Structure 1
């Protein structure tokens, strides 16, 4: 009996230790190259600087007229869609409302939407950047205008099911590119 009880007692004494602790969640560490920006001319009345990581710009036409450009990032599976519209016949309020409504459509899936006002009086560029948190289809939206002749809106979309945790690093990287686009806009004529 002692032969059985003594080893069991010893086993119980040494097997009881600290309670097991769950391991913290691991996060994927993604590193992107340092952004190098280069001035880009497009067949529209503005120019801007784009990250060299992006593919050459694709122009978008409707009714035979160029009205937008797509800045594609194939390695990040993302595109920044830029749409240009002329300010005419007092349509600025309508253009602003359309851009804001497009952002508000994401409230269904968004956890939060924050807005950041942008103003560059020297370049005559005024706008707003919306950062959308959560599993929304677009993580960033923006518009810039000179309030007289030009209006440019932009949206960031990924070619993947919106999963905020997965696309967050790429979204943060591209948010810097969007800010650079806004800051480097130069209106032509």
Structure 2
């Protein structure tokens, strides 16, 4: 028994050293995952051009945005979409309604715009929402700014409450990556604000 104790000790020490060295090697050779990263987005310098076509409204939009007819099944006259050619991850949808000097129609359009916005926010469980009511050139303007994973992060409607009602909304197909798209969202939002600053109804 006396001769076997040192032998067992040597065997235990041998396996212990093997485990230590093997664990060191495994740590060196093991794959260490890196934090998620996103492609750097190069955006062109903002430049604008006047909206062309026979529309009851006018504004300056980004020259990088192609104006196309809204092809949805609910589309009406003068509904358009601004599609960014170098930026395929954001679109601006423009919808238009004629009020015809009917207060009930005006309130109906306001309620519809409100429902569309809040339904999208509630469905996506947005973390925040802010509304700012403004007035410019005799028009009422309501902004809706939402934060979180929502398809519509910024929109507004503008109306003279008598004849015209227009809603502009920024849509982001990949709403689950809004944090990574922050530069695009800001870029498009700035374009929408320029559209509003140059906005006017045609007589």
Q: State the TM-score, normalizing by the size of structure 1.
A: 0.76
Counterpart residue number, 1:162: 176
Larger helix proportion, structure 1 or 2?
2
8 A Cα contact 1:68 1:84, kept in partner: yes
8 A Cα contact 2:151 2:174, kept in partner: no
Matched, 1:120 2:136: yes
Deviates more, 1:68-77 or 1:170-179: 68-77
Deviation for aligned residue 1:28: 5.7
Aligned pair partner of 1:30 in 35, 38, 41: 41
Matched, 1:83 2:98: no
Larger strand proportion, structure 1 or 2?
1
Counterpart residue number, 1:3: none
* 1:133-187: CA deviation from partner (whole Å, max 9, x where unpaired): 1001111121011111000012111232532212221111101111111221110
1:1-189 correspondence to structure 2 within 5 Å: 29-55=40-66, 57-60=67-70, 66-77=77-88, 78-88=90-100, 89-90=102-103, 91-105=105-119, 106-109=121-124, 110-121=126-137, 124-189=138-203
The DSSP-based 3-state class of the residue aligned with 2:127 is: strand
Counterpart residue number, 2:5: none
Question: How many aligned positions are there?
Answer: 164
Counterpart residue number, 2:6: none
- The unaligned stretches of length 5 or more in structure 2 are 1-33
